[in-house]
């Protein structure tokens, strides 16, 4: 009980929880990007990847639940720390400012909420499959088995300008979030020292920029037609016509 009290009731404990859950989430988003970049390979590659994840069954749901718990704890601790800081300022305490707050650190709470909204939409779109009609969730044959055509699902999704704009905004905010959160995570765990804090800051910025560019490349490739629909049940033509042809078949 003392350990739980130290983690959930003290500022240091809350920062440790934020750091650990942040590390889990950073690993997830980078792994998620690597998986999505397979859209530049033949369609069966990303479909095989998606089918493998689905084949995990209960294990996949345990992973999802674990990630959901990490997200909830991360946001909970962040909100709790913000409220504590506000209460301390009202009582007349001055916050310790050893470094000038960056734009990323000042907007963490706002970017976090928008990213959370994006995660909810993303899960409803690709996991629950409830945000669009059945035309957006086509099937394809993979090694003699009928599976969801994730390649086509991604292309159809990013062919919608509003979805792509929302995605890019969310990814930009998440990248901004990463640029500050990655380095502060080491500080919360007591692993950040003056001798390598500069290198850590540069590493955080590099990771966040590469993360944004990797995700943006997927959207741009679809919007410009560099990556198109290759499912024989759909027309691999321009973005607008592809969905119109799919609707005409029903």
Residues 66-125 have pLDDT tens digits of 988 988 888 888 878 777 777 776 655 444 444 444 544 555 556 666 667 777 777 777
* Three-class DSSP category at 140: strand
Residues 160-198 have pLDDT tens digits of 898 899 889 888 888 888 887 777 777 766 666 677 777
The answer to whether 180 and 108 are in contact (CB under 8 A) is yes
CB atoms within 10 A of CB 36: 17
C-alpha–C-alpha distance, residues 165 and 186, integer Å: 32
Residue 13's pLDDT band (boundaries 50, 70, 90)? confident
Question: Is the whole-model pTM more than 0.85?
Answer: no
| Predicted local confidence at residue 135, as pLDDT | 66
Mean pLDDT for the chain overall: 78
CATH level 3 topology of 2-92+100-248: 3 helical TM bundles of succinate and fumarate reductases (1.20.1300)
Domain ranges of the chain: 2-92+100-248
Flag whether pLDDT at 63 surpasses 70. yes
The answer to whether 204 and 180 are in contact (CB under 8 A) is yes
């Amino acid at each position: 009980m003392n350990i739980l009290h130290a983690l959930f009731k003290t500022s240091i404990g809350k920062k440790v929880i934020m750091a650990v859950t942040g590390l889990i989430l950073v690993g997830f988003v980078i792994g998620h990007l690597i998986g999505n970049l397979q859209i530049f390979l033949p369609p069966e590659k990303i479909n095989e990847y998606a089918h493998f994840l689905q084949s995990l069954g209960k294990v996949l749901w345990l992973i999802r639940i674990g990630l959901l718990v990490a997200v909830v704890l991360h946001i909970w601790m962040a909100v709790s720390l913000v409220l504590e800081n506000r209460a301390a300022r009202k009582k007349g305490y001055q916050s310790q400012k050893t470094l000038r707050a960056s734009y990323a650190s000042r907007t963490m709470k706002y970017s976090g909420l928008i990213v959370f909204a994006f995660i909810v939409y993303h899960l409803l779109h690709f996991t629950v499959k409830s945000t669009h009609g059945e035309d957006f969730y086509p099937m394809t044959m993979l090694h003699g088995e009928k599976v969801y055509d994730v390649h086509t699902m991604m292309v159809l999704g990013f062919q919608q300008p509003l979805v792509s704009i929302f995605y890019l905004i969310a990814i930009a905010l998440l990248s901004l979030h990463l640029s500050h959160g990655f380095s502060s995570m080491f500080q919360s765990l007591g692993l950040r020292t003056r001798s390598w804090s500069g290198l850590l800051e540069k590493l955080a910025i590099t990771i966040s920029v590469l993360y944004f560019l990797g995700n943006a490349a997927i959207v741009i490739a679809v919007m410009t037609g560099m990556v198109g629909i290759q499912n024989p049940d759909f027309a691999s033509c321009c973005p607008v016509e592809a969905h119109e042809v799919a609707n005409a078949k029903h």
